[in-house]
């Protein structure tokens, strides 16, 4: 068909499966195993449905203000979107227009190359070192922008703020995006560097540490000028992206700092305990500072373990891709879920 010649063809990002069977253990998409803050449930139950007649606030002002107050920045420095995927996608569209390749790690969030292809942004990947760390010197080559997650996904490896700063300092003429989807599980945020660098954009999400993947809330913080450019693109794309319930419930989640800190602390404690147990079972992994572990077994291929777990209704993530095809990414669930995983693995590993 002739019209097919002019189709924008893309190979879409493939998200983790979302099966929902009673009794299954879902450790494949890095969701939070605990519910959102109790105030969120209270507010959701009493949601004023008449308000849904109206369009929501297109700038999500109450949520922007709550985030600005929480992170001690001006509201003009905050941009919110429908999950951080929306924020990142808008940022690619807004900032990566030089025609020069943007740079990101070879093993990283697999949406980056998809957005680059979608928007026809050239890119070059920089190989992580043998310990899965970024080599900052790779980011000295000419480029049209830089993006990396910190901690990285799917490895969980955290770069120190010195490394992050070195990359930003080397790239003052382009926008550097630090994707901090997992920073609340033990990372140090690049937000501290915002005063020094006007080319830095820090992206975070409510999907992991704030237990609200289902509501789709993400945000970024940066220099006022960056945010203004980002908003101009967003308002040229779709004005009313973030729905009213998400805006209201998001504010409530930000308000309950005690719950947020307690939940992330619980996940970190479980993660550290599971690390010990996994080592005993013959798994090795980089030291994760995220809410997941990236594990390889000494003798059993990851693909086989993945299938065995799946048959037992335990879902983890596996990619048959270069460099990572012998690893599994396992989200840190509740202690009960992790105990069930460990019990299964003990039994399974024993049979080999
Ligand atoms: N960045 C990274 C590194 C992620 O792993 C994810 C989760 N898939 C996201 C961004 C997007 O998450 P969300 O759109 O739910 O905020």
The predicted-structure confidence for 275-286, as pLDDT tens digits, reads as follows 999 999 999 999
Instruction: Locate the ligand 1 atom nearest the alpha carbon of residue 205 and give its number.
Output: 16
Phi, psi dihedral angles at 208 (to 5 degrees):
-110, -75
The answer on pLDDT for 154 being more than 90 is yes
- The pLDDT score that the predictor gives to residue 166 is 98
Which residue matches tokens 């957005």? 115
Spatial distance between the Cα atoms of 49 and 27, rounded to a whole number of angstroms: 34
Instruction: Locate the ligand 1 atom nearest the alpha carbon of residue 208 and give its number.
Output: 15
**Cis status, amide bond into 138, omega within 30 of 0:** no
Closest-CA residue, ligand 1 atom 8, reads 29
Instruction: Identify the residues whose C-beta falls under 6 Å from ligand 1.
Output: 83-85, 109, 149, 153, 179, 181, 205, 207, 213, 218
- The pLDDT score that the predictor gives to residue 17 is 86
Tell me the pLDDT of the chain averaged across its residues.
97
Closest-CA residue, ligand 1 atom 4, reads 181
Instruction: Locate the ligand 1 atom nearest the alpha carbon of residue 86 and give its number.
Output: 14
Task: Give mean pLDDT, residues 178-184.
Answer: 98
What are the distances in angstroms from CA 279 to CA 99, 287, 296, 335, 343?
Answer: 46, 12, 10, 17, 14
The predicted-structure confidence for 65-111, as pLDDT tens digits, reads as follows 999 999 999 999 999 999 999 999 999 999 999 999 999 999 999 99
Q: How far, in Å, from the CA of 111 to the mean position of ligand 1? A: 9
Going 19 to 21 to 24 to 26, the CA torsion angle's sign is: positive
CA angle 285, 212, 94 (to 5 degrees): 85
Closest-CA residue, ligand 1 atom 6, reads 181
Domains of the chain, start order: 2-36+258-350 (3.90.1150.10), 48-256 (3.40.640.10)
- The pLDDT score that the predictor gives to residue 117 is 97
Task: Give mean pLDDT, residues 6-13.
Answer: 94
CA-wise closest residue to 225 among 203, 205, 242, 200: 200
CA-wise closest residue to 33 among 345, 262, 263: 263
């Amino acid at each position: 068909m002739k019209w097919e010649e002019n189709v924008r063809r893309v190979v879409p990002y493939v998200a983790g499966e979302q099966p929902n069977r009673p009794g299954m253990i879902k450790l494949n998409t890095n969701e939070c195993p605990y519910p959102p803050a109790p105030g969120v449930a209270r507010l959701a139950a009493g949601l004023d449905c008449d308000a849904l007649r109206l369009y929501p606030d297109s700038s999500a002002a109450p949520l922007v203000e709550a985030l600005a107050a929480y992170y001690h920045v001006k509201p003009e420095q905050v941009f919110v979107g429908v999950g951080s995927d929306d924020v990142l996608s808008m940022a690619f569209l807004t900032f990566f227009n030089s025609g020069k390749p943007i740079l990101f790690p070879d093993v990283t969030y697999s949406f980056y190359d998809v957005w680059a292809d979608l928007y026809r942004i050239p890119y070059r990947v920089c190989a992580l070192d043998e310990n899965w760390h970024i080599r900052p010197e790779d980011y000295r080559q000419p480029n049209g922008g830089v993006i990396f997650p910190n901690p990285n996904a799917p490895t969980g490896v955290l770069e120190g703020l010195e490394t992050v700063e070195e990359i930003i300092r080397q790239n003052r003429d382009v926008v550097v995006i630090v994707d901090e989807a997992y920073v609340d599980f033990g990372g140090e945020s690049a937000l501290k560097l915002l005063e020094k660098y006007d080319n830095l954009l820090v992206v975070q999400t409510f999907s992991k540490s704030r237990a609200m993947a289902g509501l789709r809330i993400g945000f970024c913080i940066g220099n006022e000028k960056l945010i203004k450019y980002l908003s101009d693109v967003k308002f040229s794309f779709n004005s009313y992206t973030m729905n009213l319930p998400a805006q209201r419930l998001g504010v409530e989640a930000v308000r309950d700092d005690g719950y947020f800190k307690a939940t992330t602390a619980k996940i970190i404690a479980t993660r550290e305990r599971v690390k010990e147990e996994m080592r005993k079972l013959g798994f090795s992994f980089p030291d994760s500072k995220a809410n997941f572990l990236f594990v390889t077994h000494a003798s059993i291929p990851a693909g086989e373990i993945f299938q065995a777990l799946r048959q037992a209704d335990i879902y983890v993530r596996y990619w048959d891709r270069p460099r990572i095809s012998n690893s599994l990414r396992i989200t840190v669930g509740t202690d009960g879920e992790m105990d069930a995983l460990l019990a299964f693995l003990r039994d399974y590993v024993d049979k080999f």
